[in-house]
Amino acid sequence: MQTKYLYINTIGCQMNVYDSEKIAVVLQPLGYELTPSVDTADLIIVNTCAIRGKAEQKAFSFLGRMAKLKRKRPGLIIGMGGCVAQQEGRKILERMPFVDLVFGTHVISRLPEMVTRIEQKRCHLVDKTVYPGINEYDSITGAGSNGCDNYCTYCVVPYVRGRETSRQPEFILSEILELIGTGVRDVTLLGQNVNSYGQKEGLCSFAGLLEKVNALKGLGRLRFTTSHPKDLSEDLMLAFRDLDKLCRHIHLPVQSGANTVLKRMNRKYTRETYLEKIEKLRQICPEIAITSDFIAGFPGETEAEFLETLDLIKTVEYDSLFAFVYSDRPNAPAAHFGDKISETEKKARLQVLLDLQEELTHKKNRSMVGSIQAVLVEGLSRKQPGHMESGKGPIVQWSGRTEGNKIVNFNCADDRETAVPAVEAGYLVDVKIKRALSHSLWGEPVGAKTETADLKGDKSYAA
């Protein structure tokens, strides 16, 4: 079969990263191999994100650039998948007629058929499913769960990803086992609201699922994201204490520190119940890293409400956080709320929030200096991939993550004769933290862990 090249541009969350991997897999039988360059591609797919206005603009500006390529090479096939495709459907073709294929979030298994039809007839195709009752993820792509039933008033997810559906534990376990067989050691269970896993379907609890995954032989690290504070059960808190492979890190988006705003957001918890849960979690697992998401300038947010958010950040002392200016999303009720905050004010609030966290992150990082952290090596550091030092073997700078998901860079002599063993991606290395930078840590390896021998060829993977 003739080899053809596929370029995928993935925008958005880990669910999209996951979907993109599946897109590549389902198109393999048609002869498509991944290429890192649009110039060599026969098929270009942009996997889009609709969560905030900015992500959507990014997708359209990428496609705009691809239009130029298509004028030069009319045989090029251009496809758009993901949440914007699901949201806009046929309208995309009116706006961007050079696009050949628009496919929603639940039809990845049908891509080979759609691409074949385009290859043969060069027709435009739109495949936008209205959420079928069945979960395509069971058999084909696979995630912990998908979709969301929470209807936060700012959020587009329930409209583009549909109702929350959880996969049967057997599917998840067998997929992870398969991944372990290919050398994967670090697995992340994904879902927009992953910790309400199984409740609707009457499957096992999410803590029960983690216990089953934790028991799989050969697995190094287990993570999950994203959790809704209202669904953070005591069982799940205890899992951080009891499950040896579960990384002690939780991403627990709070969005705002003001009860009045939380109510308007339909978040279904209060500042007090959120703080109680954080306190309990830290009692059970004192070393847990906690991160969060915030929205600055939600409609009607007063200065006083914003100050309550800053106060919550100081109270919790997050390890790090993501913060965004509020943007109107199609179908999301908040788009019709009054008292919108000006762009200038939203950006100013975002900056104040980020500056505050920067200080706190730096403080947290400084408190780690002197500690020894188990670092799962991800690869060569991007900033300084390697240099030679005269008289010694080449020194290379590696980059990896702690259990709490902090980036640690360290130098390692790539010389098997030195006391420090050479490392590779997938090794778990004990690193003594020497310096705290604002966004990362710097350390020196003090020895590779014994398990590293069987961790060769690891890559992290989301399931």
Q: Which residues bind ligand SF4 (CB under 6 A)?
A: 148, 150-152, 155, 157-158, 192-193, 228
d(CA 383, CA 400): 13
Query: What CA–CA distances, in Å, run from 348 to 264, 296, 297?
Result: 22, 9, 9
Tokens found for residue 183: 């050398």
Point out which span in 86-94, 239-247, 319-327, 442-450 binds ligand 5AD (CB under 6 A).
Answer: 319-327
Output the smallest distance, CB 51 to ligand SF4, in A: 8
Output the smallest distance, CB 294 to ligand SF4, in A: 12
200 binds, among ligand SF4, ligand 5AD, none (CB under 5 to 8 A by kind): none
**262 scored as a contact of ligand 5AD (CB under 6 A):** no
Output the smallest distance, CB 241 to ligand SF4, in A: 26
**253 scored as a contact of ligand 5AD (CB under 6 A):** yes
Judged by CB under 6 A, the chain residues 324 through 353 that form the site for ligand 5AD are: 324, 326-327, 329
Please choose, from the candidates 237, 334, 245, 231, the residue with its C-alpha nearest in 3D space to the C-alpha of residue 273: 231
Beta bridge partners of 389: none
Output the smallest distance, CB 266 to ligand SF4, in A: 8
Tokens found for residue 241: 């204490």
295 binds, among ligand 5AD, ligand SF4, none (CB under 5 to 8 A by kind): ligand 5AD
Residue whose CB is less far from ligand 5AD, 52 or 167: 52
Residue whose CB is less far from ligand SF4, 82 or 158: 158
Binding residue for ligand 5AD, selected from 6, 45, 51, 77, defined by CB under 6 A: 51
Q: How many residues bind ligand 5AD (CB under 6 A)?
A: 12
Contact 193, 150 (CB under 8 A): yes
Contact 108, 99 (CB under 8 A): no
Residue whose CB is less far from ligand 5AD, 51 or 441: 51
d(CA 426, CA 449): 12
Site string for ligand 5AD, 274-313 (x = CB under 6 A): -------------------x-x------------------
Contact 114, 77 (CB under 8 A): no
**154 scored as a contact of ligand 5AD (CB under 6 A):** yes
234 binds, among ligand SF4, ligand 5AD, none (CB under 5 to 8 A by kind): none
256 binds, among ligand 5AD, ligand SF4, none (CB under 5 to 8 A by kind): none
Omega within 30 of 0 (cis) for the link into 344? no
Tokens found for residue 199: 């409740």
Residue whose CB is less far from ligand SF4, 12 or 158: 158
Residue whose CB is less far from ligand SF4, 231 or 415: 231
Residue whose CB is less far from ligand 5AD, 126 or 353: 353
Ramachandran area for residue 89 (φ above 0: left; ψ -120 to 50: alpha; else beta): left
Please choose, from the candidates 285, 204, 292, the residue with its C-alpha nearest in 3D space to the C-alpha of residue 251: 292
Beta bridge partners of 45: 8, 79
d(CA 202, CA 15): 23
> Per residue in 110-120, is it b (16+ CB within 10 Å) or e — as a string?
ebeebbeebee
Query: What length is written for the chain?
Result: 463
Ramachandran area for residue 198 (φ above 0: left; ψ -120 to 50: alpha; else beta): left
Contact 111, 103 (CB under 8 A): yes
Residue whose CB is less far from ligand 5AD, 52 or 249: 52
**106 scored as a contact of ligand 5AD (CB under 6 A):** no
Q: Where do contacts with ligand 5AD occur on this chain (CB under 6 A)?
A: 51-52, 154-155, 253, 255, 293, 295, 324, 326-327, 329
